[in-house]
Chain A
C-alpha cells in the first residue's frame, strides 16, 4: 500500500509544481517503513509561498487525507491537527458512507468538511486477480521494496488504485484543475473514473453547528495525504 500512497502525494505535488506553485513531496520515515505491510504515511504540500523548512518529515496539520485502505478508518487519528470543519477525507471503500462514518468519533468528525467515498478498487484497472499493488509477482515486489527505501522508481506513477483516488481527491477538493493533475497521472482513464464516480458527504460549516451531514453524489472527489503550507 506504500506505492499507492506515494503515488497520490507524488502526483499532487508534481501537478502543483507544474502549475507554478511551490510544492514538496515527503516520504515519512517516522513510520518505520522497513516493516512490510505496516501503516505508513506520505504527504505532499503545495502553496504560493516558498517552502522555508525543507525537512519536515511529519505532517502536523493535514488538510486533505486519503485512506488507501478502508480499515485504516479504525486505526489512528489521521486528522490530528486539522482545524474544525476544514478537512477533506477520501476513503477507498465499497461501503456506504453512513456506515463508514460510524467509525469516526465525534472529535474527528468535527474536523471534516467533506467525507468522500470512492470505490477505487472497482474503478482501477483490473490487473491480474487484483488491482492492489502488493498482489504481484516476486520480482515486481522486489522493485517496490527497493523503491520504498528510496531506490529507483521502476513503475509508472499514478497507476492502479492510486489513479481513482487522485481523481476523487482532486474533484472533491476543487483546488487543482483536474486536467493539470491528469497530465501527470499514468492511468488517466482510471483517474477520470474516480473523478466521476464517488460519494461525498458534506458537513455544515462550523457556524451552523453540527447539523446532519448532507450526502451528495458529486462528480469529483480524490485526495492524497497532503498539507499545503
Chain B
C-alpha cells in the first residue's frame, strides 16, 4: 500500500507512550507522588563516633581525618584547634583513648589517630601565621586567674581567649608548661615543640604567664577569689615518699623531681645502676631517661605483675627495646648505703593489694629478701600536691574537691591532676576546655549544665562489607641504639604526608555522613538528591521515595536511619496522590489535557469539513479511495 501523501492526524503524531513522562524524569515524579504510601522515611542523623566520644577534649576526629583524606590540612588543623590548643603536643604524648575506642579495632586495627594529629599539629606549627588568630572575638575586659601553666591551665586560657576573655596564668617554675616540661622527657616531647606551641598560644594575645609565682606563697587564696573567676590547675608535682630504712641516703631521688630537673635543663647526675620503684608511666619515663643520661642500666621494680603494669603497652615495649629491665611483683624493703650513699637495695617478692579505701597495701612475702646492687634509686609511687594554703575544707589527700562541674566554690573551678589525681595530658586539656566554657556561662549568668547525652555509633551499626581490610600504617620509631644515646632523639617519628593521608583514608566515619554517594548510587527511585543538600547531607525526594530502605541498608557509616513515616506530622509534608485512585483527576488530568484538546480539535475539524461539504476528510489517505461528496 502506498503511503504517498498519507496524512497522519495531529493527535496520532504524538508519541503517545511519551505523554506520561517516566518517573525517572522530574515531571514524572510530580505526576506519581508515590511517597505517600511510604511506611518508613530514610533520615540522615549523625551519631557520635566512639573516638570523638572517648577524647576528653571532644576532638572531632572523624571530621579532621576526613579533611586530611582530602588533603585539606588547614581545615583539619582548624578543626582540631576548636577543641585542643596543642595538637603537636598531644600528637606525641597522648595515650590516645580515641584509638582504644576506635571501631576499626573490631574490624582490623585502630586508626593511628594520634599520628595523624601529630602530622596536623606540626603542619600548623610550620605555618607562618597562626590561622586560629583570624577568627577570634575581640577581648573583653574580664581577666580570669589561672594557677598553673600545664596542659589544663593553658587549655583553659586558650578556650577563654576563644570566648573573648583574657587570663593571667601563675606558674611556680621558671618556665611555663607544667608537667609537659617538668614531667615529660624531651625524647618524648621535644622542648622546641612545647616552646613553639606555647608561643603560638601567647601570640593570640590576652594570655599573660607570670613565671616564678607560686600559689600559696606569692599569690593567696584571697587574691584568687578577687578575680572575676579563677581556674586551679596546679597539677600534682610532689612525689609520694616511701617509708623504708635508708630512704634518706644520697642517691635516692623522687622520679618526678628527677624528671623535673632534667626537663628544665638543670644538671642532673645519674648512676649506672638505676633502680626505679613503681609501676606507672612515671617509672617508665624515669628509667628510660636514666639510661639516656647515665648510660647504664635501669630496672623497674614494681608491685604489679607484668600484666597489671600501668605503663601503656607501647611505652613498655619501647622501654624494653631500650634495655629497661623489669622486676615485677617485688617491693623495696631497705636501702643499703655506705658513707651516706646508696650502694644497693634489698627487695623481696610482693603482691599488689588494696585496702577497702583503695589505698595500695603491699603484701610482702617474707623470706624472699635479696640484695640488688645499685647506685641510684628513683621513687615513682604516685604523686600529690601541697594544698595547705587552701582552706582545709577544699582539699582532701592531695586533690581539690569540687562538684560535678569541677566547681570549687563561687567562680573558682579546678581541673587536671589536682582534681582527678594522676591522669593523662588530654584529660587536663579537656578539663581546661570545660572550665573555660563553665566560666563563660557563669560570667554571662547562664546555668551550668552537664554534658549532653550523645548516641555513640557501635561497630555493629556500620555496614562493614564496605570497608576492605587494610593494615594500620606502622608508627615510625627511631632505632633503640640511637634512642639510648641522647635525651634529644625523639622515639616516635612523624607520619609522612602520604602516610597521614593513607591512614586517614582508613577511617570508617562511624555514624557520620562523609558524602560517599552510596545512597545516591543505590537508590532505585532517583530519590536521593545530591545537588540539593540539607545540613551538608543529601536530601531525600520525600514525595517520591517509596521507603524501600535500600539506602539505609547500604549506608556504610550508619548515619542513615529509618523513621516511621507517621512520626512526621507536618501537614505541609503530606502530598496526597490523586492519580492512583483517580486517573482523570489531579495532576494526571493536567498532563492529559493537551492530548484531550488535540482530539477535540481534530474532531471539530472533521465535523467542520463534513459540514462544509468538502469531500476529503482528514482521516483518509490522499489520492487512493478518498470519500467524495
Contacts and interface: CB of A to CB of B under 8 A. Distances in A.
B578 A74 contact: no
Contacts of B396: none
A74 B574 contact: yes
Contact of A75 (B564, B571, B577): B577
B569 A103 contact: yes
Given A103-B569, A103-B574, A71 B582 contact: no
Interface residues of A, number: 24
Nearest to B586: A77
Nearest to B34: A38
A77 B578 contact: yes
B565 interface: yes
B109 to A, nearest CB: 37
B580 A39 contact: yes
B36 A76 contact: yes
Contacts of B582: 80
Contacts of A93: 566
A62 to B, nearest CB: 11
Most buried by B among A71, A72, A103: A71
Contacts of B565: 71, 74
Contact of B581 (A71, A74, A80, A102): A80
Contacts of B39: 69, 71
B566 A95 contact: yes
B581 A103 contact: no
Contact of B569 (A38, A71, A80, A99): A99
Most buried by B among A39, A41, A73, A75: A75
Interface in A62-103: 69-78, 80, 93, 95, 99-100, 102-103
Interface string B545-585: 00000000000000000001110010100101110111000
B437 interface: no
B580 A74 contact: no
A31 interface: yes
A200 B144 CA distance: 64
Given A99-B569, A103-B571, A71 B37 contact: yes
B214 interface: no
A77 B576 contact: yes
For the complex, would chain B's binding face be called helix, strand, loop or mixed by DSSP majority?
loop
Contacts of A105: 571
A105 B574 CA distance: 10
A76 B576 contact: yes
B38 interface: yes
Interface in A28-77: 30-31, 38-39, 41, 58, 69-77
A38 B571 contact: no
A102 to B, nearest CB: 5
A70 B566 CA distance: 8
Interface string B11-42: 00000000000000000000000001111000
B580 A73 contact: no
A136 B40 CA distance: 20
A49 B544 CA distance: 43
A73 B566 contact: yes
Given A39-B37, A71-B39, A102-B571, A76 B580 contact: yes
A85 to B, nearest CB: 21
Contacts of A39: 37, 580-581
Contacts of B571: 102-103, 105
B566 A76 contact: no
Contacts of A77: 576, 578, 581
A206 to B, nearest CB: 24
A72 B569 CA distance: 13
B37 A38 contact: yes
A95 B564 CA distance: 12
A99 B571 CA distance: 12
A204 B581 CA distance: 29
B569 A75 contact: no
Nearest to B564: A71
Given A70-B566, A99-B569, A103-B566, A31 B581 contact: yes
B203 to A, nearest CB: 57
B401 to A, nearest CB: 48
A100 B577 CA distance: 18
A71 B574 CA distance: 11
B566 A41 contact: no
A73 B577 CA distance: 12
Given A31-B581, A41-B581, A102-B571, A75 B37 contact: yes
Nearest to B580: A39
A65 to B, nearest CB: 12
B440 to A, nearest CB: 41
Contacts of A41: 581
Contacts of B576: 74-77
Nearest to A93: B566
A31 B569 CA distance: 27
Contacts of A103: 566, 569, 571, 574
Interface in B33-59: 36-39
A217 to B, nearest CB: 21
A31 B39 CA distance: 19
Contact of B566 (A30, A38, A74, A80): A74
A181 to B, nearest CB: 27
A93 B580 CA distance: 23
Most buried by B among A30, A77, A78, A93: A77
A72 B37 contact: yes
A102 B577 contact: no
A87 B39 CA distance: 25
Most buried by A among B36, B566, B574: B566
Nearest to A100: B566
A93 B569 CA distance: 15
B509 to A, nearest CB: 31
A69 B40 CA distance: 12
B573 to A, nearest CB: 8
B566 A71 contact: yes
Most buried by B among A58, A74, A80: A74
Contacts of B574: 74, 103
Interface of B: 36-39, 564-566, 569, 571, 574, 576-578, 580-582
8 contacts: A30-B581, A39-B37, A71-B38, A71-B565, A74-B574, A75-B576, A103-B569, A103-B574
For the complex of A and B, the 4 pairs showing the least CB-CB separation, nearest first, are: A75-B36, A75-B37, A71-B565, A39-B37
Given A69-B39, A77-B581, A103-B574, 18 more contacts: A39-B580, A39-B581, A71-B37, A71-B38, A71-B39, A71-B565, A74-B36, A76-B576, A76-B578, A76-B580, A76-B581, A77-B576, A77-B578, A93-B566, A100-B566, A102-B569, A103-B566, A105-B571
